[in-house]
Structure 1
Amino acid sequence: MDALIASYGDATSDSDTDVSTPTQAPTNFQGFSNPLPPPPLFLLNPPNSLGTMEYLQIGQANRVRSFPHVEGNYALHVYIPVYIPSTPKKELALFLKKVTSLVPGLHVVDVDVPLNSLCKDDHKLEQVALGREFHISLGRTVPIRVHQIDSVVAMLRQKLQFQKRYFIDFSKWEVFVNDDHTRTFLSMEVITGGLAEITRQIQAVNEVYKLHNLPEFYKDPRPHISLAWASGDISDSLKRVVEEEMKRFNVRGSLQKCIFSSKFSGIECKIGQKTHKICKIQDE
């Protein structure tokens, strides 16, 4: 893409050119003074891209850090990676489209693309909103100092070194709000299968946090993955829409007791931009 733009010039350069001042071609290339034609639009916006307008909208939603950035601090996040299987994606996409049509301002978590810009194309919606890696948090995302990194990683590995495989059942749509009420999240919660195992893992992470004087996780943790977010606290309106849509899906028999299941595949710890593998899976 960069090569294309470099060859043809900036796509917006035409509007910046002073047409009253003719440009003179270099002496050695007078026979080729005609400029290259503009590239086809489909080359600048490939079929698998989100399109120019959607990318421009990514930065328009204001997200607020949960803690201020301080030089020398690194954000610590301990989590279980989760991928949504292909089978339930169409049903989930249908649910997201309906909720998005009733609640404006929802964005895809992490990617920060407006959901309503994806709802026109089912493939893009499934790919961007449902096809990425999701996270079940096992601890708060907190800042740590560089001298704490090795100790935190070593202790997490010691506490969580060997884990058995188990299935995680996502059984309920839920709405969460962050601590300072600056963001609302549309999530899927674990309330049955896998809850006991995840709770034990959270307790182990809490022990490591406590030894490093870091804030522990919520007293009554509710493991979940978040699919979308909106600015501010819109939990009341979003929850009403979600509950109403869940009733409609249940009436049609579309929504099962378990929305989807995922096999536990390990625990990771991201510190700054580096990801550390924490545990090995112990086969039974």
Structure 2
Amino acid sequence: PLPESFLSKFKTKSESESHHVDNPDEHQGRLRSFKHERGNWASFVSIQYPHDLTDVCNDVIRALEPVGQFHVVEDMHISLSRTVVLLHHWIDALVQDLKSRIYNTFKRFELNLGTLEVYTNDEKSRTFLGIKVDSTEMMNYVHSIDESLKQFELPSFYKNPDFHISVLWCVGDVRKQISANVLNKIQKILADYLKMFEYLRQFEVNELRLKTGNKMFVFPVK
């Protein structure tokens, strides 16, 4: 038999990927919600927040230093679906179905930023600070997206969703460490900032996005 040192030079890409080991140190301590598998694409539908909140987020981070090490969320959005696993050969069919539904039934509407709320992910491995948003229109969007995902036997969105834009995150479940005083302090930081820059408070929803793996599909809303 040939030595392993020789055979390893000719391993296929799929063989090497099947031994992928996720290293949290490469992602600021974050853990994957789904095991890395070739052909499985983590995917979700969302509304993108169009403005930059970095300055106020940095002020809130400083106020949260006694609680833990928080980071600014790079991709600020409002989720309209759970993060689900798509098989690669499903992507085109889902894109076409979503495109048809959004073009034919969805209309533009406006969203307003509200107060800060503390959340965790389903695995309780990360804590998020999110800015709540309110719109009766979004439930109509969610029901339609659920119908689209149901065709692939994928789970529906949460039963009573609390729509929000996640702006900060940290590793672990630190909800109990955020006291009422700290929460009031960061609420005031946000409120004062939005009063100073009023244009950040309201925005028009004119498109939806499907992120699947490293691909992004954008669906304009009429």
**One of 96, 105, 121 as aligned partner of 2:69:** 105
Amino acid of the residue matched to residue 220 of structure 1?
N
Task: Indicate the residue corresponding to 1:274 in structure 2.
Answer: 215
Distance 1:224 1:204, change over 3 A: same
The match for 1:263 among 186, 204, 208 is 204
Question: Which letter does structure 2 place at the counterpart of 1:148?
Answer: W
Which residue of structure 2 aligns with residue 140 of structure 1?
A: 82
Partner SS for 1:212: coil
Evaluate the alpha carbon distance shift between residue 145 and residue 226 of structure 1 in structure 2; reply closer, same or farther with a 3 A threshold: same
- 1:149 aligns with 91
Query: Following TM superposition, by how much is the alpha carbon of 1:102 offset from its aligned partner in structure 2, in angstroms?
Result: 3.3
CA offsets per residue over residues 164-199 of structure 1, 9 Å max, x none?
Answer: 3221111110111111110100111113xxx11112
Aligned residue identity for 1:80: I
Counterparts of 1:270 and 1:146, CA distance in 2: 13
Instruction: Give percent identity, aligned residues only.
Output: 29
Maintained 8 Å contact 1:95/1:245: no
Structure 1 residues 100 and 109, CA gap change in structure 2 (3 angstroms): same
The unaligned stretches of length 5 or more in structure 2 are: 1-24
Change (3 A) 1:184 1:239: farther
Aligned-residue Cα RMSD (Å) equals 2.6
Q: Does 1:76 align with 2:19?
A: no
Q: 1:173–1:242: 8 Å Cα contact kept in structure 2?
A: no
Change beyond 3 A, Cα 1:60–1:149: closer
2:36 and 2:54 map into 1 onto residues whose CA distance is 36
Q: How many residues are paired up?
A: 194
Q: Is the 8 A contact 1:81 1:265 kept in 2?
A: no
Structure number with the bigger relative contact order (C-alpha 8 A, sep ≥ 6) is 2
Does 1:180 find its partner at 2:123? yes
User: Does the CA-based 8 Å contact 1:84-1:260 persist in structure 2?
Assistant: no
**CA deviation map 1:127-156 (0-9, x unaligned):** xxxxxx521111011111122111111111
Matches within 5 A, 1:80-229: 80-84=47-51, 92-93=56-57, 95-110=59-74, 133-162=75-104, 163-191=106-134, 195-229=135-169
Pairwise CA distance, 1:221: 0.9
> Deviation of residue 215 (structure 1)?
1.0
Query: Hey, which of these two has a bigger chunk of strand by percent?
Result: 2
The answer (yes or no) to whether the contact 2:78–2:165 under 8 Å persists in 1 is yes
Structure number, greater radius of gyration: 1
For structure 1, list consecutive stretches of 5 or more residues without a partner in the other structure: 1-57, 111-132
